[in-house]
Amino acid sequence: MPQNLLEQLRKYTVVVADTGDIEAMEKFRPQDATTNPSLITAAAQMPQYQPIVDGVLKDARNELGDGASDQAVANVAFQRLAIAFGKKILAIVPGRVSTEVDARLSFDTEGTIKQARSIIVQYDAAGIGRNRILVKIASTWEGIRAAEVLEKDGIHCNLTLLFGLHQAIAAADAGATLVSPFVGRILDWYKKDTGKDFHGADDPGVQSVTKVYNYYKKFGYKTQVMGASFRNIGEITELAGSDLLTISPQLLAELEATQGELPRKLDPQAAQKLSLEKIVVDKATFEKMHAADRMATDKLKEGIEGFSAALVKLETLLAARLAALESRTPAAV
């Protein structure tokens, strides 16, 4: 009996679920899972997860005391909520979960380090070892510097919102555990910029991830590549062989429902035969390459702003939920 595309993909690539929806994890049983502020905000509004939200809010209230404002409690709670979901997810997946540092700290190296360590302490307190946690950090120069410090402390990092080769090289030089190039967001930018549509190997997001993968394998970096933010299964099948791919439940279902041959497209041995130039990326080179890459400049800024806005929305929702809980009136986040 022919295998579906998802079964074949698992032969080449570690499949990761890109969701905060625990029920979706149970259905697809991925190796790892990733979340981000937008996904956590969406999950927090689902009725089935209200007990998790309420428990986090009550714990935050008890920690801060009755004198703290609802907004202050909500600010503490949102940081704990991602970890609460992470713990639930780790009861399902055999591998790791990625938990994101506050996007508003994307240009604050010390603030990122402090919050990353706090995330690890909270997982430690739950008896979850750091080998099962990836701390997600935006691929700014400041975020990459934070990851360098954290990796030396044995805290594994996932450099997210990655759009350009300069970000990928700097992250690998810093010893990041893995990077998450955003395939679909790159495609979105080029479609808008050119007015054209792209398919298969012509997809600029696919080309970007392929370039990063080949560069890492050519020069022997240990940092792994996890393609993310997919718009269609064509992008996924073109990246079969990437170290990891993080995929939404909707596209996982589509892969599972599709029959056909899935050849491996990315291969480390093939990459080692390529003629590539080694690039030294210091801060000046990083800033120069970033400024020259309109797509990376636009999408990094947009991504940080989008995740920051999601956190503001989540804090507002949590404050409203807390007020409703404490006045004993029903309300949904």
What distance in Å separates the CA atoms of residue 238 and residue 304, rounded to the nearest whole number? 27
Considering the chain, what percentage of its residues have pLDDT values greater than 90? Answer: 85
Residue 171 has pLDDT above 70, yes or no: yes
- Concatenating the DSSP letter of every residue in 97-122 gives EEEEPPGGGTT-HHHHHHHHHHHHHH
**Residue 213: per-residue pLDDT:** 98
Considering the chain, what percentage of its residues have pLDDT values greater than 70? Answer: 98
Lowest mean pLDDT, pick from 147-156, 271-280, 300-309, 320-329: 320-329
- pLDDT, one tens digit per residue, over 15-26 is 999 998 889 889
Residue 182 DSSP code: B
Residue 39 CB neighbour total at 10 angstroms: 20
**Residue 128: per-residue pLDDT:** 97
Residue 226 has pLDDT above 60, yes or no: yes
Residue 287 has pLDDT above 90, yes or no: yes
Residue 126 has pLDDT above 90, yes or no: yes
Extents of the domains making up the chain: 9-326
With bands split at pLDDT 50, 70 and 90, how would you rate the model's confidence at 328?
low
Of the CATH numbers 3.40.1190.20, 3.50.30.30, 3.20.20.70, 3.30.830.10, which one belongs to the domain with range 9-326? 3.20.20.70
- φ, ψ (nearest 5 deg) of residue 9: -60, -40
What distance in Å separates the CA atoms of residue 106 and residue 301, rounded to the nearest whole number? 10
With bands split at pLDDT 50, 70 and 90, how would you rate the model's confidence at 39?
confident
**Residue 331: per-residue pLDDT:** 52
What residues act catalytically? 136
Residue 137 has pLDDT above 70, yes or no: yes
With bands split at pLDDT 50, 70 and 90, how would you rate the model's confidence at 332?
low
**Residue 1: per-residue pLDDT:** 66
What distance in Å separates the CA atoms of residue 152 and residue 156, rounded to the nearest whole number? 9
Output the six-digit token pair for 144: 């990459």
Is the alpha carbon torsion for 26, 30, 36, 39 positive or negative?
Answer: negative
